[in-house]
């Protein structure tokens, strides 16, 4: 009976994960293509307003899924400082999304994806500038084809537009900056939030930022959108579907990572860009060249090589330890503590079977401490390396106290 149930549960798990991956692909590619369609047709030229719709949907659906459906436990904001950190991340997140949507007005999806694939380059750059985190030279070497591929693709892109290119590069850099900044600001255990709770708090803040920005920078957005809704009966439906897909992309990203791994998501992300490029070319019929395809291929291969190099060659020390000498000292102290306590590992239990009477606290102090040259009067005055009760100054002070008491 159990043998028949095990293959059945395995099939259900495989079907569930496959459904999540399909949802993830559909949501990410769907929102990208719908953004391009809405911003390139019917006179809708409002990327800030479109981003505001996305953030409004994310705020609404995040609240429903966390507070009512209990998809993940609600993590409350514990301090004003934590709120300010989340607000900072929300502003940077807004800039990245708005920049990406603006670029879609001027660039084809294929070239937009090629530029967006350079995110690892900016992530490594900001990580080094902000946290001094260094990677192996092989990892940095893998970033060369990432940048070179975009340069090649730029030269072979028939629809190249400088403003769109600058906005796309800015959006990509902002996306990388946000990921590094998130690791810095929300690094403590008490302030860490999972991606769904972070989206719950960032989305309303983003809406509050985007509403005045849309009214100032896109002053006729309300009138034009209402007019387009009357002229095209599917306009409001497309905006609703597009906004829902924006939340679905974040939700499926969280679920795929939870039920598979971050490495699986990275591999799927590399393939997602290529699938989005092919579908966009078939739908929008934008012209492509062999040079452009070659450049994008070089970029994708560079991203794959970067991910593999980062997985194999971790940070300095091989285990993600930035200062291997401090780590060795900490291990020595922990080992000495275990020996003195007589517990902590099988090796310490083995040592207890032998005569280790010489290994005392006093012996360890005298053998392992850093010793400096001493002057002749070092036993008279207090220095940090003295144990107070054994210093002659302490003894002299005690004798003087006794003499005064006797007098």
Indicate if 268 and 361 belong to the same structural domain: no
Give me the pLDDT at residue 269, please. Answer: 79
Indicate if 343 and 304 belong to the same structural domain: no
Indicate if 405 and 314 belong to the same structural domain: no
Indicate if 379 and 354 belong to the same structural domain: no
Q: Please provide residue 273's backbone torsions phi and psi, each rounded to the nearest 5 degrees.
A: -60, -45
- pLDDT tops 70 at residue 3: no
The SS3 of residue 11 is: helix
- pLDDT tops 60 at residue 316: no
Residues near 296 by Cβ (< 8 Å), separated by ≥ 6? 110, 111, 113, 114, 117, 149, 153, 277
Band the pLDDT of 371: cuts 50, 70, 90.
low
Structurally, the chain folds into a number of domains equal to: 3
Indicate if 213 and 352 belong to the same structural domain: no
The SS3 of residue 258 is: helix
Q: What is d(CA 110, CA 281) in angstroms, rounded to the nearest whole number? A: 7
pLDDT over 90, % of the chain: 36
Indicate if 207 and 350 belong to the same structural domain: no
In terms of Cβ atoms closer than 10 Å to its own Cβ (0-12, 13-18, 19+), residue 140 is middle
Give me the pLDDT at residue 405, please. Answer: 43
Indicate if 238 and 141 belong to the same structural domain: yes
Q: What is d(CA 28, CA 252) in angstroms, rounded to the nearest whole number? A: 9
Give me the pLDDT at residue 242, please. Answer: 96
Give me the pLDDT at residue 352, please. Answer: 65
pTM, entire model: 0.72
Indicate if 302 and 378 belong to the same structural domain: no
Indicate if 332 and 390 belong to the same structural domain: no
Indicate if 214 and 345 belong to the same structural domain: no
Average pLDDT over residues 93-110: 92
pLDDT, the chain, mean: 81
Average pLDDT over residues 337-362: 66
Tell me if 83 sits within 8 A of 198, measured CB to CB: no
- pLDDT tops 50 at residue 404: no
Indicate if 235 and 285 belong to the same structural domain: yes
Which domain range does residue 394 map to?
Answer: 370-407
**189 CB-side CA count, 13 A:** 0
Cα Rg for the chain, rounded, in angstroms? 30
Give me the pLDDT at residue 377, please. Answer: 53
Q: Please provide residue 327's backbone torsions phi and psi, each rounded to the nearest 5 degrees.
A: -65, -40
Band the pLDDT of 4: cuts 50, 70, 90.
low
Indicate if 12 and 159 belong to the same structural domain: yes
| 243-301 pLDDT per residue, tens | 999 999 999 989 888 887 766 777 777 788 888 888 888 888 888 888 888 988 898 88
């Amino acid at each position: 009976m159990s043998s028949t149930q095990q293959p059945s549960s395995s099939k259900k798990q495989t079907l569930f994960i496959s459904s999540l991956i399909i949802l993830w692909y559909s949501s990410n590619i769907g929102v990208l293509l719908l953004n391009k369609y809405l911003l390139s047709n019917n006179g809708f030229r409002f990327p800030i307003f479109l981003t505001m719709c996305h953030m409004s949907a994310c705020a609404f659906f995040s609240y429903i899924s966390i507070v009512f459906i209990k998809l993940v436990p609600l993590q409350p904001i514990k301090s004003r400082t934590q709120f300010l950190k989340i607000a900072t991340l929300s502003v940077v997140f807004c800039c990245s999304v708005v920049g990406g949507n603006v670029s879609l007005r001027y660039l084809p999806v294929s070239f937009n994806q090629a530029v967006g694939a350079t995110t690892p380059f900016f992530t490594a750059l900001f990580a080094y500038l902000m946290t001094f985190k260094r990677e192996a030279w092989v990892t940095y070497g893998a970033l060369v084809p990432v940048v070179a591929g975009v340069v090649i693709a730029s030269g072979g892109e028939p629809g190249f537009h400088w403003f769109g290119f600058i906005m796309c590069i800015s959006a990509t850099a902002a996306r990388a900056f946000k990921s590094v900044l998130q690791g810095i600001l929300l690094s403590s255990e008490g302030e860490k939030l999972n991606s769904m709770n972070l989206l719950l708090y960032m989305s309303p803040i983003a809406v509050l930022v985007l509403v005045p920005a849309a009214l100032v920078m896109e002053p006729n957005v309300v009138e034009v959108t209402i007019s387009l809704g009357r002229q095209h009966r599917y306009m409001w439906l497309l905006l609703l579907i597009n906004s829902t897909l924006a939340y679905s992309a974040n939700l499926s990203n969280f679920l795929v990572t939870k039920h598979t791994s971050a490495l699986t998501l990275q591999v799927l992300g590399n393939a997602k860009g290529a699938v989005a490029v092919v579908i966009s070319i078939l739908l929008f019929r934008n012209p492509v060249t062999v040079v452009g395809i070659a450049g994008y291929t070089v970029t994708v291969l560079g991203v794959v090589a970067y991910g593999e190099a980062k997985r194999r060659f971790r940070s300095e020390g091989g285990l993600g330890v930035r200062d291997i000498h401090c780590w060795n000292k900490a291990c020595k102290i922990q080992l000495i503590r275990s020996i003195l306590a007589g517990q902590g590992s099988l090796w310490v239990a083995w040592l207890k079977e032998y005569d280790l009477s010489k290994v005392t606290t006093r012996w360890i102090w005298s053998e392992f401490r850093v010793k400096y040259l001493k002057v002749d009067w070092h036993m008279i005055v207090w220095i940090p390396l003295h144990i107070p009760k054994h210093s002659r100054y302490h003894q002299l002070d005690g004798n003087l106290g006794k003499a005064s008491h006797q007098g």
